[in-house]
Amino acid sequence: MKVVITGIAGVLARGVAARLAEAGHEVIGIDRRDWSDAPPGVQVVRADIRKRPAEDVFRTQRPDALIHMATVTHLSASADVRVRVNLGGTRAVLEHCHRYGVRKALFIGRHTVYGAAPDLPLYRTEAEPPMASSTYPELADLVAADGYAGSALWQWPEIETAILRLVYILGPHARGPLASLMARPRVPVVFGFDPLFQFIHEIDAARAIALAAETPLRGVFNVTGPPPVPLTLLCRKVGAQPVPVPEPIFRHVPGRFGFAPLPAGAIEHIKYPVVVDGRAFAEATGFAHELGEVETMAQFAARRGRASL
C-alpha cells in the first residue's frame, strides 16, 4: 500500500511512518518541516499541504491512502494560522483524495472536540456531538476540521473515510497540550475540582493509527489507552506539583508565576473531565493498549529527569 502522511515530521507521525514502512508499505510524507534522517521506505516532500507542490504528490504518486496529521494543536499559534492550516489544509487534502482516486482517508483528531461542561456525560461515545466550540472557543478550528472530515463520509462515499479522535498523548517524546502543561514544575488546578484525565502512550497511539490504516474502517472512532486518572494524581506521578487556585482568579494565573500559558477556554477542561469510550475502535480493529497508565506517566517523568512525587 502506498500511503501519504501529512505532518510527517511530527513526533507521532514519525512513529506511524516507521511502523508502516517496517510492515512493507511505501510511505510518502508531506511537511514544511524537515525530517532528514527518515528511515528506509519513507520519502519526505517539504511542502505546505495547501499549496500546489502538495497536490502534485497526489497527482503523480496516486497513493492508496491518506493519513492526515498536519493539524495545529498547540494554542500558541494565532487563530488565523490555526484556521488556515486546520480547516483549509484538511479541505485541501481531502479534495485531493477525491480528485486523484485515493481509496482510504484517515483524519487524526482529538477527543477534546467533545468539550467539557458540568452537564455533559462522563463517558462520551461517537454518537455525542462535538461541543468544544461553545465550551472552549479556541478549539473551534479543530472542531470545524473534524466536521469537514466527517462530511467526506457522505460527500465522497467512494473514499473509505475514518475520523480517529485520540485522547491526550504522553510518553518520552510526546508533545501537545497535556505534555506542555505537565512539563512545568507546577501545574495550576481549579480549587475544589480534580477531573479525570485520559491519555495514551505515544507508542500505542502510533500503533493504533497504523492499524487503522491497514483495517477496513469507516466512520468516527474514539481511540483510548489505559483508564483515566485524576488530574492531581497525574501531576504528582509525572513529578509536577498541583497548585490549587480559586476559580475567580484562575484566569489570571496561567503564563505567570512559572505556570504554563493556557487560553481562557481551557479552564473548563481543568474543571470537568473529557473521557471517551473507545470500545467501537477496539471492536473494529482488535486494538488494545500495551502500556498502562503507571508506565506511561513514569516514562514521561523520566524524560525530564524527574522522580514521581
Residue 132 has pLDDT above 60, yes or no: yes
Residue 309: which pLDDT band, with cuts at 50, 70 and 90?
very low
Q: What is the mean pLDDT of residues 93-102?
A: 97
Question: pLDDT tens-digit profile of 142-168?
Answer: 999 999 999 999 999 999 999 999 999
Report how many domains make up the chain.
Answer: 1
Question: pLDDT tens-digit profile of 6-49?
Answer: 999 999 999 999 999 999 999 999 999 989 889 988 999 999 99
Residue 141 has pLDDT above 60, yes or no: yes
CATH number assigned to the domain comprising residue 297: 3.40.50.720
Residue 229: which pLDDT band, with cuts at 50, 70 and 90?
very high
Q: pTM above the 0.85 mark?
A: yes
- Whether 67 and 18 have beta carbons less than 8 Å apart is answered as no
**Residue 67's domain spans which residues?**
2-303
The answer to whether residue 136 is domain-embedded is yes
Residue 136: which pLDDT band, with cuts at 50, 70 and 90?
confident
The answer to whether residue 309 is domain-embedded is no
Provide DSSP, 14-32.
HHHHHHHHHTT-EEEEEES
The answer to whether residue 204 is domain-embedded is yes
Q: What is the β-pairing status of strands 65-68 and 160-166?
A: unpaired
3-state helix vs strand vs coil in the chain, percent to 5: 40, 20, 40
Give the list of residues 6+ apart from residue 178 with CB closer than 8 angstroms, or none: 168, 169, 170, 197, 199
The answer to whether residue 174 is domain-embedded is yes
Identify the helix (H) or strand (E) that includes residue 11. helix 11-22
The answer to whether residue 308 is domain-embedded is no
The answer to whether residue 212 is domain-embedded is yes
The answer to whether residue 39 is domain-embedded is yes
The answer to whether residue 7 is domain-embedded is yes
Q: What is the mean pLDDT of residues 205-216?
A: 98
Residue 117 has pLDDT above 50, yes or no: yes
Question: pLDDT tens-digit profile of 276-306?
Answer: 999 999 999 999 999 999 999 999 999 766 5
